[in-house]
Structure 1
Amino acid sequence: MTTWTDVINFVRTRYEVLEEQGDWLRFRLAGPQDRTQQATVHHLPELDGGAWIEISSPVGWADKIDLRQLLELAGASAAGGAAIVDGVALLKHTLPLEDLSIEHEFERPLKTLVARADAFEHELTKADEF
């Protein structure tokens, strides 16, 4: 059985942790062409009798990007959906924690989501703020 502690330890050993609280941590991943991209993983309250985690990665400030274009880009993506949290446009993906294979069912969606968020950020802002 995979625990929240397993996820935290996996992230700590592989990525640069920028900020950590009890139920979430924010970290940075390397991207193409000297770009970097932040990601956050949240431990969600139990839903339907099981624990879940949510991976998110910022695309840009919601008031500075074309949100319709973001929704169109996100709609064509296999991983993640678009959301706005605290004024930041994000791509998000949720996974059940129980019996999660960290290397296959966490890291693969994480890398896919982060790569898409970085590509969307580049397309929509022409910057690398996140």
Structure 2
Amino acid sequence: MATTWIDLIGYVRVRYEIFQQSENVLRFHLPTTGDRTQRVAVHHVPADDWIVIESAVGRADDVDLRRLLELAGESNIGGIVVAEGVALLRHAASLADLSLDGFDRPFRLVTEAADALEHRLTGADHF
């Protein structure tokens, strides 16, 4: 059964503490490894009924962007973008093709990969 944006909001709300929500965006922190956390945003693209999952790697000026692209190329999920000066790992999926159970895997892969890239390139946990 296809997932709706409302279903997804409920799924996230039950599992994580949302720190910012608008009509088409959810932002929250997700624990990763050890005492590290990762900031995550899920954007709804209503015209196409898609979601975009993104997680920050670091400020674009503070990371070696060439190395970031090389490391991201080893992943089978997402791609790197720079938005508002922040390097992000971003992945898109059609809500029509997802079940709520199917959301967790790409969501976890994006956040864990972004956290690993942040740790490897900056040694910090800013995002």
Flag structure 2 segments of 5+ consecutive residues without an equivalent: none
Post-superposition Cα deviations, 1:6-33, rounded to whole Å, max 9, x if no partner, equal: 0111011101211111100101111111
The letter for the 1-side match of 2:87 is A
**CA RMSD in angstroms, aligned pairs only:** 1.0
Name the counterpart of 1:3.
4
Unaligned runs of 5+ in 1: none
Partner of residue 122 from structure 2, selected from 106, 121, 125: 125
Corresponding position of 2:51: 53
Aligned AA for 1:94?
A: A
Structure 1 vs Structure 2: percent identity of aligned residues?
52
Match of 2:111 among 109, 114, 117: 114
Q: Which residue of 1 aligns with 2:86?
A: 88
Shift of 1:103: 1.4
Q: Distance in 2 between matches of 1:2 and 1:9?
A: 11
After the TM superposition, list the runs of 4 or more consecutive aligned residues in structure 1 that deviate by more than 6 angstroms.
none
After TM superposition, list the pairs within 5 Å mapping 1:5-84 onto structure 2: 5-47=6-48, 51-84=49-82
Residue 99 of structure 1: how far off its partner (Å): 4.1
TM-score by length of 2: 0.95
Specify the SS of the correspondent of 1:70: helix
